[in-house]
Amino acid sequence: LSPAGETVLAVRFDHAARRVGAVLEGGDIEVYDLAEGNLAGRVAGKPGDPWFRFSPEDGWVWRVHEGALVAVEIESGAEQARVPLPAGASVAPLQSQGQFIAVTAPSGGLWVDAAEVSRRRVWTEAEGLRPFAIGPNGKVAACVTPEGVVRIDLGTGIRIGRVMSWDGAPAVASGAFTPEGNFLAVLDTVGMVRFFDLVDNKLFKAIATDALPRSGPPPSATVHISLDPSGNRLAAFDSA
């Protein structure tokens, strides 16, 4: 593979590992077919944020371009979707691995459905919903509201179940669903992890720990948690 003799800033495989994309110093993205070893498409761009990702179906790529999150078809180079971004916005790569792309900005944040170029669901903090975890089926988001934690159907915007809250209501730092989606782990900014039973809509277990990494005194919005595939072990890490 020979990306036009330019310096490569970032590379990424598609979901099926059949193609690889390379962001060039000039801003273009070249996509190569790994089986044939040839150029499958070139997405024109300008120097800027090197982040990009393939759509879940691998037919187009999402990238940040000229103040917007843009989806471009690989073979034709045609723009499929454009989501304007607020000033100072950037993609949060650690939270953008699944179907949704997470964007943070000084004025708030938003999530964009990477699979829907014609019917996108965009949730903003300005609407009073701050999504912090996406369910394993990609259809449900756990969101922070002034009342507590709620689940939202991303297709309809309707709340699912009851509000999940606790005494003192410390701020939510991160969260994760178990693989089957029956439990939600919520990490608050004082180091408590609470597991909510989503079938019965109740608190199942709370674990206090001082071992969580922190980039500074609480609250720390850079601390994240992740569950292993079995749902029995939890890892905490600091993205700062």
What's the whole-number mean pLDDT along residues 166-179?
77
Say how far apart CA 69 and CA 85 lie, in whole Å: 7
Lowest mean pLDDT across 131-145, 165-179, 203-217: 203-217
Taking the whole predicted model, whether its pTM rises above 0.75 is answered as no
Say how far apart CA 168 and CA 70 lie, in whole Å: 41
Phi (first) and psi of residue 135, to 5 degrees:
-65, 160
How many CB atoms are located within 10 Å of the residue 123 CB?
21
Widest Cα–Cα separation across the chain = 59
In terms of Cα–Cα distance, which of 187, 107, 92, 106 is closest to 142?
187
For residue 1, is pLDDT > 80?
A: no
Average pLDDT, the chain: 80
> What tens digit of pLDDT does each residue of 131-151 get?
778 887 777 888 888 788 888
> What tens digit of pLDDT does each residue of 11-40 get?
999 988 899 999 998 899 999 999 998 999
What's the whole-number mean pLDDT along residues 95-122?
72
How many CB atoms are located within 10 Å of the residue 158 CB?
9
How many CB atoms are located within 10 Å of the residue 229 CB?
8
DSSP per-residue codes, 82-116: EEE--TT-EE-GGG-SSSEEEEEETTEEEEEETT-
Alpha-carbon distances of 125 from 109, 113, 144, 146, 219, rounded to whole Å: 6, 16, 9, 11, 18
In the chain, DSSP finds a helix count (H) and a strand count (E) of 0, 22
For residue 62, is pLDDT > 90?
A: yes
pLDDT at 139: 77
The H or E element that residue 123 is part of is strand 122-124
pLDDT at 74: 93
Say how far apart CA 203 and CA 194 lie, in whole Å: 7
Q: What strands, in cross-sheet order, belong to the sheet with 90-91?
A: 90-91, 100-105, 108-113, 122-124
The secondary structure of residue 200, as a DSSP letter, is: T
